[in-house]
Amino acid sequence: MERMKFQVLSIVPHSPHPLTGELPSAADRLEQVVALGETAERLGFDAYAVGERHAGPFLSSAPTVLLAALAARTRRIRLLTGVTVVAILDPVRVAEDYATLDQLSRGRLELVVGKGAEAGHFDLFGLDEERQWDLQREKYELLRRLWREEGVDWEGEFRPPLKNVTTVPRPYAGPPRIWHGSATSLNSPELAAKHGDPLFTANAIQPREAYAKLIAHYREKFEEYGHDPAHARVAAGSGGLLIADTAEEAVTRYKDLYEAKVRQSFRPQLAGKAGYNTPFRTIEEAVADGPQLIGSPQQIIDKILGYHAHYGHDLQSVTVDAFGQSTAEQTETLQRFAEEIAPVVRKEAPSTLWEE
């Protein structure tokens, strides 16, 4: 059946609760992420994604390990990254690690690659941030070859040459799909379009128009590069999911939580740089104009369909652990989304993604 697909994403934030100051142990927090993946599968979500961060208050520096735990404890749900920061990694290691995951999950893996949303990780890995897009392009294109070819001969700028290299294991059933994460620059949409790959728009912080511009560029270039426009797949993130019975209750119930989290997350050193600090500082602004999915079920349905009208996206990603809520609260939110929101959106926004 043609229907929009839904994903749950965690970048595994690990900050004190913005109102209570509570901070779970790292072990408890990681277990919560894995348990949420099991819940997402049980509730009928199509995919579960784990991010990758190497700087800031996150526990997602080793997404391969978390996804391996998820592969062992799930059977159906697709496993994605969000994103794999290929610009700072060795493509040979990426090819090996994620092909292993693809084998463990019996073909359920897909990558979303990007240069990452943390300014600090290039220094951490001894790389020049000024060259981030050159790093991204070269390393992605090598990864692409390693998964599609055997006996690879290759020479580039950022790692030693390869001679007759075949990475093992090979992927489970051909190369996994690779999406390109897109947040602020035309570089990722361009690279995705060039290779006929799908685009995953962050849709997390900026106004809708900023992301719509990147998607429009992708679709235009996709066709210019000679690919069938019907195959131009798009996914969209969101800046956090909070559901209440009514619009009024959503504001009353979540105002202090949302606005405290905005203050906690503000990074003054990145003020004015697109894609880092949300311009929607009050909950009223977030509900009205932000990418956050906050409000009654009908408000959230309307917002997702509004995005679909502009993006034409196939996959909608939601995040329920952005505000430090308990496992029980996250589970309740996912259940309400699965029962009250997803069926309506699926009916109104068809897609053949993962049905080809």
3-state SS of 164-205? Answer: EECCCCCCECECCCEEEEECCCCHHHHHHHHHCCCEEECCCC
pLDDT-based confidence at residue 145 (cuts at 50, 70, 90): very high
Rounded to 5 degrees, φ, ψ at 22 are -65, 140
Instruction: Indicate the helix (H) or strand (E) that contains 78.
Output: strand 78-81
Is the domain covering 5-348 a CATH 1.10.357.10 domain? no
- Confidence check: pLDDT of 278 > 90: no
Q: How far apart are CA 93 and CA 91, in angstroms?
A: 5
Mean pLDDT, rounded, for 31-56: 97
Residue 155 has a CB neighbour count (10 Å cut-off) of: 9
Q: How far apart are CA 47 and CA 236, in angstroms?
A: 13
Rounded percentage of the chain residues whose pLDDT exceeds 90 = 90
**Segments making up each domain of the chain, as ranges:** 5-348
Total residue count of the chain as it appears in this document: 356
Token pair, residue 226, equals: 């000679």
Q: How far apart are CA 241 and CA 331, in angstroms?
A: 12
Token pair, residue 263, equals: 């203050």
- pLDDT value of residue 93: 98
Structure-derived torsion over alpha carbons of residues 282, 285, 286, 287, reported in degrees to the nearest 10: 120
Q: How far apart are CA 77 and CA 40, in angstroms?
A: 8
Structure-derived torsion over alpha carbons of residues 110, 181, 220, 138, reported in degrees to the nearest 10: -90
For the entire predicted model, the pTM comes to 0.96
pLDDT-based confidence at residue 272 (cuts at 50, 70, 90): low
- Confidence check: pLDDT of 270 > 70: no
Start-to-end C-alpha separation, the chain: 11
Per residue in 153-184, pLDDT tens? 999 999 999 999 999 999 999 999 999 999 99
- Confidence check: pLDDT of 276 > 80: no
- Confidence check: pLDDT of 45 > 70: yes
pLDDT-based confidence at residue 1 (cuts at 50, 70, 90): low
Q: How far apart are CA 145 and CA 300, in angstroms?
A: 40
- Confidence check: pLDDT of 323 > 90: yes
- Confidence check: pLDDT of 273 > 90: no
Mean pLDDT, rounded, for 341-355: 96
- pLDDT value of residue 266: 75
Antiparallel, parallel or unpaired: β 199-201 and 178-182: parallel
For the ranges 1-5, 114-118, 211-215, 352-356, which has the lowest average pLDDT?
114-118
* Contact (CB, 8 A) for 37 and 73: yes
CA distances from 308 to 4, 61, 102, 216 (A): 10, 32, 30, 13
Buried b (16+ CB within 10 A) or exposed e, 174-205: ebbbbbbbbbbbebbbbbbbbeebbbbbbbbb
Per residue in 92-137, pLDDT tens? 999 999 999 999 999 999 999 998 877 678 999 999 999 999 999 9
- pLDDT value of residue 332: 98
Residue type, 219: R
CA distances from 222 to 219, 335, 347 (A): 5, 36, 27
- pLDDT value of residue 242: 97
Rounded percentage of the chain residues whose pLDDT exceeds 70 = 98
Residue 25 has a CB neighbour count (10 Å cut-off) of: 9
Mean pLDDT, rounded, for 230-245: 96
